[in-house]
Structure 1
Amino acid sequence: MTHIEDFFITANSVYNISEEEYQQKELLIKSFEAISRSTYQSIYIIDYYKKNFLYVAENPLFLCGHTSEEIKKLGFMFYIDHVPLQEQKMLTEINKVGFKFFLETPIKERNICTISYDFHIINGKKQILINQKVTPLMLTKDGRIWLALCIVSLSSHNTAGHIELRKQGMTRYWQYSLENHHWIEDKGITLSEKEKDILLLSAQGFTMNEMANKLCIAIDTIKFYKRKLFEKLEVKNITEAIAFVTNYKLL
């Protein structure tokens, strides 16, 4: 059985955050409220000092029938109540190995780390596969995570897992193997300018004829690039390709 304490590790214990410091975070919360309203992104902020959620965006798709205030009161009980038991174990393992990786990273690089993974949430009889990206928002003076920003979206995969840790500005990244319980470094995916052009034009709703005219290339060349893109990204269609490159900041 999973317990709330399983989502935290001693090495990242945060101490001595004053109420005055919390009062200064009101502007931060208002900023994320505005971002959530304007983009309809599902955002929440984890507080590793109080071990709860400091802020939860009002996005009903990912709240499993709760209001954002109810989710704030639930805190990490949300995962215990609304994530399949086997995947709860995966989440607690991700916390342990993710924090270990983070704390072994030089302090100056910790703010550019983002960990991403997929898991299901249960809303009644329905399961939704989501992607969650977690990145440090505020660090303590000794480099521990006090506040972390989480962005939730629909997963571009079909199964849970896909645990990756990336550093901003770096093509290479690290994948975590749940079978072997260790990180594997990957050189990453690089898109050519032509591939980026096709993805951007596709996202803007251009047809293949229109893209061919705009890029001054044949329609067969557009088809060739799209096939190669699907193979490179391991997706089935342009919708999945756009979701993938958006999620992983490849554009």
Structure 2
Amino acid sequence: MNPISNLENHFSFESVDNLEKRKEALNDAIDTVQAYVKLDHSVAVLSDLADNKSYIFADNFGSFFEMNISGYVIIDSIWEEDIYQRIHPDDLFQRHLLELEFFNFLKNLPPEERLNYNTKCNIRARNSRKEYQYVSHRSFYLKNSSEGGLWLAVCVYNYLFEKLGTSNGIDGKIVNTKTGESFYVSTYINCINLLTSREKEILVLISQGIISKEIAAKLNISINTVNRHRQNIREKLNVTNSIEAVRTAEALHLL
């Protein structure tokens, strides 16, 4: 699994409903997304964060990804890896940062307001000719649980119909679809407090190539404490190793 697209650690703390209640809401969501994709001619991925499954729907835009889907297909993951492999690595990393900021932005809102927002960005993806082409990517949460936990997530891919601007990167922004308000995500203010001062201190030392044993001696703490901090850092930044942790923290301006 591509580590930069891994938000599972955050999702695991979300409160979800019992299976019977989820089943009815999930069936409604499947019908909604299927109808939308048919209208929009797009590709959509509906991810069930409680059951770690995704439902992939494709209309005309499916030919871009060389998809041949009738109705929808189910995968045992909340990450559409076959699509991710087609996205330019730099853009996939930036999309990860945008989604991390979006998640933390939503957690600061009342549950009833969260479903009014989505992300929008332009990413490079390989088409059927194996050439990179800019496509539109949007993401949003379709359902909260009855306890307010984020539960059903949707990603929508389609052709980019608007003209590209002059900004660099993926041109990521968060949009309130109810009011029309939007703002570009160039600073990650909702991620600013992700790491404690001690975790930042340890991550700086890691970036300098200092191993856990030496960090423990330098900070006068046990190696078990250092390793626990390292694990917490990886979980908070949704990465699987220290190199990615340093890269993500630097991109989020945490160091």
**If the length of structure 2 is used for normalisation, what is the TM-score?**
0.58
Aligned partner of 1:126 among 128, 131, 140? 131
Query: Could you list the runs of 5+ residues in structure 1 that have no partner in the other structure?
Result: 184-251
Distance 1:106 1:16 in 2: 16
CA gap 1:112/1:76 in 2 versus in 1, 3 angstroms: same
Q: How big is each residue's C-alpha offset from its partner over 1:39-79, in whole Å with a ceiling of 9 and x where there is no partner?
A: 42333312222334234234444651233456846743134
Distance 2:183 2:9 in 1: 21
Give the corresponding residue for 2:103: 99
Larger RCO, structure (CA 8 Å, separation 6 or more): 2
Deviation at 1:10, TM superposition (A): 1.8
Deviates more, 1:47-56 or 1:84-93: 47-56
Deviation at 1:126, TM superposition (A): 1.7
Deviation at 1:139, TM superposition (A): 0.4
Distance 2:172 2:46 in 1: 20
Distance 1:4 1:56 in 2: 23
State, as a whole percentage, how many aligned pairs show the same letter. 13
Distance 1:174 1:85 in 2: 24
Whether contact under 8 Å (1:133, 1:150) holds in the other structure is: yes
CA gap 1:36/1:2 in 2 versus in 1, 3 angstroms: closer
Aligned partner of 2:171 among 162, 176, 182? 162
Aligned partner of residue 78 in structure 1, secondary structure: helix
Whether contact under 8 Å (1:56, 1:71) holds in the other structure is: no
Whether contact under 8 Å (2:172, 2:185) holds in the other structure is: yes
Aligned-residue CA RMSD in angstroms?
A: 3.1
Distance 1:66 1:39 in 2: 16
CA gap 1:70/1:39 in 2 versus in 1, 3 angstroms: closer
Deviation at 1:22, TM superposition (A): 4.5
Give the corresponding residue for 2:86: 82
Whether contact under 8 Å (1:12, 1:99) holds in the other structure is: no
Distance 1:21 1:63 in 2: 36
